[in-house]
Structure 1
Amino acid sequence: MAGDQENDVQFASALAADLRATIGRLKRRLQEQSGASDLTSSQITVLVRLDKEGPATASALARAEKMRPQSMSAILASLEEAGMVVGSADPHDGRKTLISLTKLCKRWIDVGRAARQDWLTRAVREHLSPAEQKRVAAALPLIKRLAEK
C-alpha cells in the first residue's frame, strides 16, 4: 500500500516536471511569434492585466501583482516611455491617476495575438493528426483546471 502511494507521488512529480517544462517551451515559442522579446515578463503581465481588466491605478496594479508600489512605478515608467501606457486623471477621484493602454499598445497586442494564434493553428494542423488534435482537446479541460488553482 505504501509503495503504491510512493509510486503515485513519483508519477505526479514527474508529470508535473514534464508539464511545466513543456508549457514553458510552448510559452517561449508563442512569445517568439509576437515580438514580445523586448519586454520583460513583468511588463507583459501588466499589459495583459490592463488589456483584460481595463484602466487601473499604479497601487491597484501593484497589489494585483503582489509587488511593491516602487517596483510597479518603475515598470509603468518604462512602459510609458515606450508609448505603451498613459496616465490620466481618475474621473471619480481626481487625486488618482488611472493607467491605461495606448492605441499603439492595443494594436501591438492585437497583432501579437493574431501572430501567436496563426502560428499555433498552423503548428496544430501540420504536426498533429486529427485524432491527436482530439486527444489534446480532451486534455484541455484538465489543464485549464490546473491553471485555475
Structure 2
Amino acid sequence: MNTNPLLQQPAVSAATAQRLQDAMARLRGRLRSESGQNATGLTVTQLGVLASVVGEGPVTAARLAAAQHVSAQAIAQSLAVLKAAGLVHTEADPQDGRKKLISADGSAAELVDRLLAGRATFLARAIDHVVAPEEREVVEQTIELLERLADADLSGGGI
C-alpha cells in the first residue's frame, strides 16, 4: 500500500495545483515586466538578495543565505554582481572582524522601492479594471487562502 499522500490525492487536486502554479508564474512574470524589474539586468535571485540587504542590512552573508534559503555560494555569486553594480558594499563587522557586513547603497533602496511600488501600482490597476466590485470580497478571501498555503506546515509527512 502506497503511503505517499501526493499519490493518494484525487486528480482534480493535482490539476488545481498545476493551474495555481501556472497562474502564479504568469502573475510573477507580469509583475516583473510591469514594475521594470526585467530592465534592471538583475535576476530574480539577485533582486531578492538586494531587497533583503535593504530591509535587514547591515547583514552577514550567512544571514542572507538563511533568509533566502540558498547556499553561501549562491549568495556570494549574487553579492558579487550587486557589488559590481555598486548597489551593495561590505565592511568588517565591528564586533567580529572576521565577519563582513553587507550594506545597501542609497540607490539600492530607491531601486527596491521603485520596483515594489511598480508591482503594487500594476496590481491595484489590474484589480480596478478586471475585478467587479461584487468580486472584491472574493479577492480578499483568495489572498487569505494564499497566505495560508504559504504558511502551510507539511513537515508531518509532506514532500
For the aligned pair, the TM-score class normalised by the smaller chain equals 0.7 to 0.9
TM-score, structure 1 normalization: 0.86
1:102 counterpart residue number: 105
2:10 counterpart residue number: 9
How far off is 1:48 after superposition?
Answer: 2.5
2:79 counterpart residue number: 76
TM-score, structure 2 normalization: 0.81
TM alignment of 1:65-144, pairs within 5 A: 65-144=68-147
Greater per-residue helix proportion: 1
SS at match of 2:46: helix
CA distance 1:57–1:7, shift in 2 (3 Å): closer
SS at match of 1:39: coil
How far off is 1:101 after superposition?
Answer: 1.5
CA–CA distance in 1 between the matches of 2:102 and 2:144?
Answer: 34
Asked whether 1:61 is paired with 2:84, we answer no
| Contact 2:49 2:64 (C-alpha < 8 Å) held by counterparts | yes
Ranges in structure 1 where 5+ consecutive residues have no aligned partner: 1-5
| Contact 2:58 2:103 (C-alpha < 8 Å) held by counterparts | yes
Ranges in structure 2 where 5+ consecutive residues have no aligned partner: 1-6, 153-159
Q: RMSD across aligned C-alpha pairs, in angstroms?
A: 2.0
| Contact 2:35 2:122 (C-alpha < 8 Å) held by counterparts | no
CA distance 1:88–1:143, shift in 2 (3 Å): same
| Cα deviation code 1:13-72 (max 9, x no counterpart) | 111101111011111111112222221122122123223333221233234434443332
Asked whether 1:26 is paired with 2:27, we answer yes
CA–CA distance in 1 between the matches of 2:66 and 2:144?
Answer: 29
Q: State the number of aligned residues.
A: 144
